[in-house]
Each structure stands twice: as C-alpha cells, then as structure tokens.
Copies of this chain bind each other. A is one copy, B any other.
Amino acid sequence: MVRDGDVVALEGFTHLIPFAAGHEIIRQGRRNLSLIRMTPDLIYDQLIGAGCASKLTFSWGGNPGVGSLHRLRDAVEQGWPQPLLVEEHAHAGMAAAYAAGAAHLPFGILRGYLGTDLPKYNSNIKFIDCPFTGERLAAVPAIRPDVTVVHAQKADRRGNVLMWGVVGIQKEAVLAARRSIVTVEEIVDRLDAPPNAVVLPSWVVGAVAEVRGGAFPSYAQGYYPRNNAFYKQWDSISRERESFQSWIERHVLGTSDFDGFKQSLLEAATHA
C-alpha cells in the first residue's frame, strides 16, 4: 500500500513503533518517500540509511537516551545515501498539525514557536492574529499523509483496533491519512476495550495485519518491554556506513519477514 514518492507517516511515540512495517518498506525498495514522524527513532534511521527517503518532516531526531541517529545525520550532513530535505518543527506544532489533519482542517493553531529560530527555516510556520483579542498565534498546515502506518496491541476479527498506554499521535495520524495500515500484536475474538479506550473502528482503518512483536525494539505495553540494549547497540551499528549496510543487508534485506529478521538477530548474537 506504500508507493514510491508517497508521503508516509509511521507513528508511535517511543511506544508501539511499527518496525516490522518499516522493514517491509525497506525490503520492497521504496524510493523518494516523504517521511513524516515526530521522533524519527531507529526505524527512520534505517529507512533513511537504506535510501528510501528524500524528505523528512520531524520535531526530534535522536536515539532516545543514547545520542544521535547517525544515518539521519549522515544524510543531512553529507547527503548520504542521498540528500535529505528537512522540514523541522517542534513537537507542539506537529501535534497540532496532525490534529488538524484528523479534523480535516487546513491548519492548526498554537501559542508556539515563540522565541525560537525554527520559523526562520520553515516556511510552513506562519502567524495569525486572533480575531477576538488580536493575540498573535502560530499556525501550521495540517499533516495529511498518503499512508499512515501504526502498530497497536489488538484488533478484533472485524478489524476494530485497540491500543493503550502511551498512545502518542497514532489515532490522529491514522485519521489524518488517506490510507492506513495497522499491525497488531494479536487478533482476538473480542476487543474487551475498557470505556473510553483508544479504539479505531474498522471502517477508518485500511488494512490490519497481525505481526507479533512487530514493534521490536520499541515496546508494546502489556506484551513486551522496550529493548533498551538494542537501542544502545544501534549506536555502534549505525555509526559507520559500512557497519550499517552490512547490518541492513544481513538482517533486513536478507530476510523475508520480521520473524526472519528477529531469528537472524538471534543467530548473530549467538555466534558473536
């Protein structure tokens, strides 16, 4: 469902990051994607390093608690493997832009971007005046991805999706998108969602696929914890182009699915 040149958002704020789906995009060799994500994280480091992306819209691009995303930096600083156009925001602005997208408004407003240089480098940050008080507020255009991909804990057989814990911007990202794909930890007979839970009804979801462990090395609350050790290892894997390339070729391009990927990682660890 992802095509070359698409505007694509893979969301999940530290939690439920759709790594399995991201790997599939790499395996399919997609090119010239305009990637959107508040916190690019390792999955976008991999997509960028693998040459899938020509643009990145984001608001915080690091390896959380560890340091830099080296492939992102290499693309920005050296243009490798290809130049990467950057549209840079703050979290508050991107959250408002996704919310506007979900609401099909053309823009979102916030009391934001005050005292920061970001508007100097991002022409998509404008300012408008309140028609009642005259206060100047920031405005950002709605985010409307061609495709949004998220990972969630459960879906039922009808395709209704339930997620819980840190739910981030996932609901908005799905509702803002023209098409959407949701991978889930498990498909169950009944969701048994608690009242007011975050549920995406089947009719707003394009496709649902069961991919157990599909958020590794991020986490799925109630299923498995964040693999902090992998996040730390990524720093050395990704630091050099060569080590990154051999990793992605062996573990992602050299495997046929996410189970294969994890099996391959396990074998590498065992033989290390």
Contact = CB atoms under 8 A, between A and B. Distances in A.
Interface in A188-246: 194-198, 221
Interface stretch (A44-52, A129-137, A177-185, A257-265): A129-137
A105 B198 CA distance: 25
A167 B128 CA distance: 32
What is the predominant secondary structure among interface residues of chain A facing chain B? loop
B126 A106 contact: no
Interface stretch (A2-10, A18-26, A29-37, A107-115): A107-115
Q: How many copies does the complex hold?
A: 2
Interface string A97-129: 000000011110111000000000000101110
Contacts of A109: 105, 109
A132 B196 CA distance: 34
30 contacts: A104-B111, A105-B109, A105-B110, A105-B111, A106-B130, A106-B132, A106-B133, A106-B135, A106-B137, A107-B130, A109-B109, A124-B132, A126-B131, A126-B132, A127-B131, A128-B128, A128-B131, A130-B139, A131-B139, A132-B141, A133-B141, A164-B195, A164-B196, A165-B195, A165-B196, A194-B194, A194-B195, A194-B197, A196-B197, A196-B198
